[in-house]
Structure 1
Amino acid sequence: MIAGSAAFGFAGCASQPTVYSGPEVTRIQVLKERREMQLLNNRTLLKSYKIDLGFDPIGHKTQEGDGRTPEGGYRIDRRNPNSRFHLSLGISYPDANDLAYAKANGVDPGGDIFIHGTPQKWVGTPDWTWGCIAVTNEEMEEVYAMVDTGTLIYIYA
């Protein structure tokens, strides 16, 4: 879903990476309950995607293996062009608050939370990740081209 009259430029095929020449993505919003991820330039919606989440999507991630997708404000902190889930963008979970909570409760907060595509043998089960945010591989190529390291991401219940 494209909103507004922003100009978009995507070019790509299987042998070349997707190139994006539109407005900068300044913020990502993930609306867990709606299973939606939005890419925004300031207040303008650039693109919206249906998503899959962790296999236990209700609530904030608090420890390794809980199957939850974190909630709160983070940043895109790394890019992985060689992900086993097609392509991936790392989310800066856990932050200082997540680490403090885990320490106080004697648990491992977990980590390696990403926005990513799907594995080769994906069967289409909803909410199948271990806490990540998943889109189709074609959509992930767009997201990967549009989003820079350092972009803010807000994940809402």
Structure 2
Amino acid sequence: MKRRIFGFGALASLAVAGCSTRSKFLTYNGPEVTSVVVNKGQRRLYLLNNEEILKAYDFDLGFTPTGHKQFEGDGKTPEGTYLIDRRNPRSKYHLSVGISYPNSKDIATAIAAGRRPGGEIFIHGQPNTKKAKGRDWTAGCIAVKNDEIEEIYAMVKDGTVITLRP
């Protein structure tokens, strides 16, 4: 009898522990995020509903943080106006939200120089398998903390305008 009671107690403990696991996929029911603004020099990312700031985050950039991305491998983060165009729940980073770089102008500039424009620019969390190496460690992406990318992932929808400023 005591074994049975112990077994039920252990099973109940596991069930409660399983219920407390937090998902990285949050839900958001607040005001719509109508745009994202990234101020590279200030290292601040803003989620806006029209003119109202809903959330603001600090971030890290590519290993060459100043200037507009022009070529694959230059370590720069793009500047200009793009769209949030995809999301990756199975990213090698905690979560990621894609930016529509390169646009036609970016492609033309790179081709004129005999180079490739690069791509795969995201707002993402921390690496899943290793630790970020200091500040400005990405290859051109915008990196935030894991709990912050969870909020961004929930709040920002595909098709949202993103403006990246120097």
TM-score, length-normalised on structure 1? 0.90
Query: Does 2:131 match 1:122?
Result: yes
2:104 pairs with 1:96 = yes
- Give the aligned partner of residue 156 of structure 2: 147
Q: How does 1:6-155 map to 2 (within 5 A)?
A: 14-15=22-23, 17-120=25-128, 121-123=130-132, 125-155=134-164
In 2: Cα distance, 1:94 partner to 1:123 partner: 25
Bigger strand share: 1
Which protein has the bigger helix share?
2
Structure 2 gaps, min length 5: 1-19
Question: In the TM superposition, what is the alpha-carbon distance from 1:17 to its structure 2 partner?
Answer: 1.9
Change (3 A) 1:76 1:13: farther
Render the CA deviation track for 1:48-91: whole Å, top value 9, x for unaligned.
00000001011000000000000000000101111110110110
Alignment match, 1:5: none
3-state DSSP of counterpart to 1:128 = coil
CA RMSD across the alignment: 1.3
| Alignment TM-score, normalising by the size of structure 2 | 0.85
Partner SS for 1:79: strand
Q: Select the structure of larger CA radius of gyration.
A: 2
Once residues 51 and 21 of structure 2 are traced to their aligned partners in structure 1, the CA distance between those partners, rounded to angstroms, is 30
Distance 1:61 1:14, change over 3 A: same
- Measured at CA, do residues 16 and 99 of structure 1 come closer, stay the same or move farther in structure 2, by a change above 3 Å? closer
5+ residue gaps, structure 1: 1-11
Percent identity of equivalent pairs? 57
Deviation string for 1:15-74 (max 9, x for gaps)? 362111100000000000001100000000000000000010110000000000000000
Aligned residue pairs, count:
146
Q: Distance in 1 between matches of 2:24 and 2:161?
A: 27
